[in-house]
Amino acid sequence: MSYSLPESREPYFKIMEFLADFYDERLDYRELYRNEIEEKFQSWGAAIIPENILKQRFGQYLWLAGSFKYTTSENSIDFTEMISVIYTRWYMLKNGPTPAKIQIFNNRQWFIEGLKYLLAILEDWPITKNVTSNSPVNVPYPLIGKIVKLEIYNFAPYYGLTHFDHEDAQYLRLSKRETCFFIASIFGNHKMRIEQPEIDEQNLTKIFSGLRYYLEKPLNSMTVQNNITQVKNYVIRITDDHENVFELSRDQLHWFEWGSIESDISGLIRKNLPINDMYLLDDNTHYFKRLVLDYRQNDSEDKESLEIDNETGLLSYIRIENNDDYDEPIKVAYRIQNQDLIKTSFEDFWLAHPKDRRVVDETEDKKYHLLVEYKNFPTLDYAGIFDRIGLPANFSNLVENLSKIMSTCTFGQIIDPKIYGRGRKDDTEFIVCEVTFQKGGTRYSYLTSDETIKIGDKVFVPVGYNGQQKIVKVVGIRYLNEADLPLPLDKLKWITKRGLDPDEEIIL
């Protein structure tokens, strides 16, 4: 059978679901043999491959966990062959003398590695797929029982090109019967982010009740215009306790007056689920309204405060520093305001949870308090020890963004010697330029009558007894009387000219 990549995104999310199942150690092994797995594998082009042929192609250690990194690096494997290898192993265990062996750690690990590799192959898919709606979809669905499972498949959660190292697909499973799972594939590097969040029954019920509230609202009378296309970049699947399963996608939800279902449900999940950076239904976890960071040291009254307000485009930094030479503390204030600059600098910024869960020890030297108010995410409120363990894992990203802003918005001309050091000389002064022949080299003094030369310019100077011309860099300018010159006037040489002559030898 000729088969390359599936035409729909369905396999991507099904594979994520199967991957979550193999991670779930509480799941009964019989669930790993359910008919759906075989049906899906076969529909994607999988076929049984004789074991002797497999071992000839991939070696005798194919079935060992960890073998994929060697198997795939030495052989070119496409989607069809890879799915056939996994299906063959699954079929052999299912029909072998001890089917329960699929639960053994090494076997689970083998399937996890294989399914991850399948997802890596599928990264070559087009990121979005347009769907056309010709009429309203018959919703709300007639849920008979209580919601017991919610699954959200989210892909291409932003418009435009997929960026390397960004997550291009996410799968979240919330269930009262199974382990909750969150899986995200990272575009371009074959890696995944996998979490098993702990969520109590009460919070899970809040999420399911909120979702049901929207599903049971009356439909809007709006009719869908012909040939209207929406980017279908998420699917939600709902299961009730009567085993009824319903699926809704973004283009279906779009046409009904359900208030702000996307932000409300997404916000409800984020509020009750301790996972960073979930796209969910509104695709928005990055944007924060306000960030406040306070820092202090125990052994002194010195403290620092940073505030970033995305709504007004304001960044302010204040440092209060005590000095024994002065009766009152020194206060340093730094303020930048520009909405475009601030929003652009932090548009992709998000803050991870701190690694450290220690209770703050009052004897510790350095402490911080961090508050982040998000637009579509619960407020984050952290306090801890100001070190690499106590701070959020990606705190360095915040510092890098701040450094870029502060390096752009430096002091102006009021303290720039290149500006205030220039001026017309009087009749008794000489202009002395200090130059270097190489970076960090010795400074040499040359005279000039050109008052337009400034620090950083390159000029030609005579060198040696024969006056060979060399190009040098001006690193200092002084206006001196003859008595203050570094050498007697007749010993100093003059700059020949400014600029760069292509025919001359270049030193710098």
432: CATH: 3.40.1440
* d(C-alpha 123, C-alpha 15), whole Å: 13
Q: What is the pLDDT of residue 22?
A: 84
Q: Return the amino acid letter for 191.
A: K
Same domain, 446 and 403: no
- Let me know if residue 281 belongs to a domain: no
Domain boundary at 64, 92, 124, which?
124
Same domain, 17 and 107: yes
Domain boundary at 352, 376, 408, which?
408
Please, what sign has the CA dihedral across residues 258, 265, 40, 142?
A: negative
Same domain, 104 and 22: yes
Q: What is the SS3 assignment for 445? A: strand
Q: What is the pLDDT of residue 408?
A: 78
Name all contacts of 461-467 with Cβ < 8 Å and 24+ positions apart. 461/435, 461/493, 461/495, 461/496, 462/493, 462/494, 462/496
Q: What is the SS3 assignment for 209? A: helix
Same domain, 257 and 337: no
Question: Edge-to-edge strand order for the sheet containing 330-337?
Answer: 330-337, 314-321, 303-309, 288-297, 366-374, 380-385
* d(C-alpha 72, C-alpha 467), whole Å: 67
* d(C-alpha 62, C-alpha 243), whole Å: 38
Please give the tally of structural domains in the chain. Answer: 4
Compute φ and ψ for 176, nearest 5 degrees.
Answer: -85, -10
* d(C-alpha 259, C-alpha 445), whole Å: 75
| Token pair recorded at residue 482 | 């003859």
Q: What is the SS3 assignment for 53? A: helix
Which residues of 134-233 form beta strands (DSSP E)? 147-155, 167-175, 181-186, 191-195, 228-231
Residue span of the structural domain in which 69 resides? 10-124
Q: What is the pLDDT of residue 487?
A: 92
Q: What is the pLDDT of residue 223?
A: 36
Q: What is the SS3 assignment for 81? A: helix
Compute φ and ψ for 75, nearest 5 degrees.
Answer: -130, 145
431 and 452 Cβ atoms separated by less than 8 Å: no
**For 473-495, how does the pLDDT look when each residue is reduced to its tens digit (9 = 90+)?**
999 888 888 999 999 999 999 99
Same domain, 38 and 68: yes
Kindly calculate the radius of gyration of the chain based on its CA atoms and give it in whole angstroms.
Answer: 33
* d(C-alpha 383, C-alpha 483), whole Å: 63
Residue ranges in the chain whose pLDDT is less than 50: 1-7, 73, 125-141, 158-164, 219-232, 255-259, 502-508
Q: What is the pLDDT of residue 248?
A: 74
Pair type for strands 366-374 and 380-385? antiparallel
Same domain, 210 and 246: yes
272 and 186 Cβ atoms separated by less than 8 Å: no
Please, what sign has the CA dihedral across residues 370, 372, 373, 379?
A: negative
**For 386-438, how does the pLDDT look when each residue is reduced to its tens digit (9 = 90+)?**
887 788 767 888 888 888 888 778 777 777 766 666 666 778 889 999 999 98
